[in-house]
Amino acid sequence: MRERLTFTLEATDKASSARAGRIETDHGVIETPVFMPVGTAATVKGVFHRDLVEQVKARIILGNTYHLYLRPGLDIIGRAGGLHRFSSWDKPLLTDSGGFQVFSLAECRRLTEEGCRFSSHIDGSKHLFTPENVIDTQRVIGADIMMAFDECPPGTAPYDYASKSLDLTLRWLDRCMKRYHETEPHYGHYQALFPIVQGVVYEDLRRHSARAVTQYDADGYAIGGLAVGEPAEDMYRMLEVVNEELPTDRPRYLMGVGTPVNILEAIERGVDMFDCVMPTRNGRNGMLFTWDGIINIRNKKWEDDFSPIDENSACFVDTTYTKAYLRHLTMAGEMLAAQIASMHNLAFYLQLVDAAREHIMAGDFKQWKEQTVERIGRRR
């Protein structure tokens, strides 16, 4: 078992803060920038692991602590030997802390210094998340990268709320780090713990948070509480502020973001890791992200379009199926429609970050990004 997660910075773009790097875990290497498909309940909806690896080219996927804790539960995951074995995924895994899900349960939760009491969305049963038991839970799950427990305030939160929330998150972080260092991995592989930078859209709070988390000399750092209601320009501004403070020799993970354009803008500002449900969730509802713009496959204009889903993609669903066929499946409510759309969107996201990496290595990311944002952001 390695002693800590390793991050190697391989290149920085000449005209921006974009970075290309390499993260080494006990379950494999992650080249960055990277997009992580979301496997909320131990599965990326509708996509076989074989296709995640061979077609999507996923290098790491994400599991959700809140959902896995409730179902199937820690007893089952522990007896299976951890989430890698339970789900038959042998590459790196990341788990969030459940903080965002708790935030989304505003009507069913109560925050205290101790932690967060909440009611299950499944059966209404009562539960308590604390900084300590969230670390214990992620130890049982066995992710290669774990997240500290935090409160995620809304993007429109007033300053006083944001400040008090951040103070609570930092006190919880201290308890998380203490628990992390007094416990051991369960399954013989190293587990990193990333603190989370919060502070809503207030520059002084974001700087304070970023400076506070770096004192722990963690393996990497997450940036949370963005893309939760604030304007995109405020998100980009906060990324610039935070990345001025975070160390350059550790990976930076922007949680829950976002659209393809969001991701390229964040890469330009120095972010390395991303996750979002958008590729699969929007795909299931007929939205396709392509190299030539965004498609609503339900539109009648695609009814007799027998061209491939995306001529510029190497994923087999894009070269095998036509827009007309996918529209037919979507309108008929066939399960295959969601599978094809999900795989297409995930493959596009991975191709996008891989292309970004190539251009960072070549030193021309900024120019490529400006052209690409205009191309992929338009509606077709």
| Residues 69-96: tens digit of each pLDDT | 999 999 999 999 999 999 999 999 999 9
* Confidence at residue 308, expressed as pLDDT on a 0 to 100 scale: 96
Q: What is the mean pLDDT of residues 20-46?
A: 97
* Confidence at residue 105, expressed as pLDDT on a 0 to 100 scale: 66
| Structure-token pair, residue 120 | 């299950």
Give residue 334's region: left, alpha or beta (phi > 0; psi -120 to 50).
beta
State yes or no: pLDDT of 154 exceeds 70.
Answer: yes
- How far lies 132's CA from each of 97, 109, 177, 212, 280, in Å? 11, 18, 9, 19, 32
How many angstroms separate the CA atoms of 2 and 6, rounded? 9
Q: What is the mean pLDDT of residues 173-201?
A: 98
What's the DSSP call for residue 108? G
Cis peptide leading into residue 251 (ω within 30°): no
pLDDT band at residue 165 using 50, 70 and 90 as cut-offs: very high
Handedness of CA 328, 329, 332, 337 (dihedral sign): negative
State yes or no: pLDDT of 107 exceeds 70.
Answer: no
* Confidence at residue 106, expressed as pLDDT on a 0 to 100 scale: 61
Residue 337: half-sphere exposure toward Cβ, Cα within 13 Å: 21
CB 43 within 8 A of CB 72: no
State yes or no: pLDDT of 183 exceeds 70.
Answer: yes
Which of the residues 96, 144, 150, 310 is marked catalytic?
96
The 10 Å Cβ neighbour count of residue 99 is: 26
* Element of type H or E holding 132: helix 131-141
* Confidence at residue 28, expressed as pLDDT on a 0 to 100 scale: 98
Q: What is the mean pLDDT of residues 313-324?
A: 96
Give residue 118's region: left, alpha or beta (phi > 0; psi -120 to 50).
beta
* Confidence at residue 108, expressed as pLDDT on a 0 to 100 scale: 67
| Residues 347-376: tens digit of each pLDDT | 999 999 999 999 999 999 999 999 999 999
Which is higher by pLDDT, 118 or 305? 305
The reply to whether 234 belongs to the active site is no
* Confidence at residue 83, expressed as pLDDT on a 0 to 100 scale: 98
pLDDT band at residue 109 using 50, 70 and 90 as cut-offs: confident
* Element of type H or E holding 254: strand 252-254
Instruction: Please provide the average confidence, as pLDDT, over all residues in the chain.
Output: 96
| Residues 236-282: tens digit of each pLDDT | 999 999 999 999 999 999 999 999 999 999 999 999 999 999 999 99
* Confidence at residue 100, expressed as pLDDT on a 0 to 100 scale: 74
Percentage of the chain exceeding pLDDT 70? 98
State yes or no: pLDDT of 103 exceeds 80.
Answer: no
Which of the residues 13, 51, 275, 318 is marked catalytic?
275
pTM of the predicted model, to two decimals?
0.97
CA Rg, the chain, in Å?
Answer: 20
The reply to whether 96 belongs to the active site is yes
